[in-house]
Amino acid sequence: MAFGSFDSKGAGGHTVSEINMVPLIDVMLVLLVIFIITAPLLAHSIRIDLPQVSATQAREDPKAIDLAIQGDGTLFWNGQPVTTESLGDRFAASAQDKPQPEIHIRADQDTRYQLLAQVMGAARRAGMGKIGFITTPQPQPAAGK
């Protein structure tokens, strides 16, 4: 608010009794913009009562078939010896389970690829969808040597 100067050398020597409105208008416009931005955020909130559940979620762990193949061609189904002829029937029976089990193939380093391809083909023909390989990582060399 300006009332003029204190010295009498000014124009006319009288005080100005007008209120400066520019800062008040600036504050009002800032508040208006703030309310315009925040008003829609407050108006669109909807209160709903969600149902309360006390039970925990049931979770089924998928079954896995451990199929080991030795270098001489011997097959093991979950640790039990099995022949290549009965392997297709076992795959077909397991393919009907819900959820379908995963096949984990552990093959010896000396296993012939032909036998491995026959096992994978029998699993695919039976309708098995999840086939994976289990390997052993190579040991890392010691640091600094």
Q: pLDDT tens across 45-68, in order?
A: 667 666 676 767 666 677 888 999
Residue 78 lies in a domain: yes
| CA count, 13 A, side-chain hemisphere, 48 | 6
The domain of 91 spans 64-133
Residue 81 lies in a domain: yes
Q: pLDDT tens across 13-38, in order?
A: 677 788 888 999 999 999 999 999 88
Q: Pick 8 or 60 by higher pLDDT.
A: 60
Q: pLDDT tens across 110-122, in order?
A: 888 898 899 999 9
What is the C-alpha end-to-end distance of the chain, expressed in Å? 82
Residue 95 lies in a domain: yes
* pLDDT on residue 25: 93
Q: Is the pLDDT of residue 10 over 60?
A: no
Residue 125 lies in a domain: yes
Q: Count the domains in the chain.
A: 1
pLDDT band at 98 (very low <50, low <70, confident <90, very high): confident
pLDDT band at 76 (very low <50, low <70, confident <90, very high): very high
pLDDT band at 144 (very low <50, low <70, confident <90, very high): low
Residue 112 lies in a domain: yes
Residue 46 lies in a domain: no
Q: Pick 25 or 11 by higher pLDDT.
A: 25
Residue 57 lies in a domain: no
Supply the CATH number for residue 108's domain. 3.30.420.270
Amino acid at 112: R
Residue 76 lies in a domain: yes
Report the C-alpha gap between 67 and 79 in whole angstroms: 8
- Mention every residue, 6+ apart, whose C-beta is less than 8 A from residue 108: 69, 70, 71
Structure-derived torsion over alpha carbons of residues 107, 117, 65, 68, reported in degrees to the nearest 10: -20
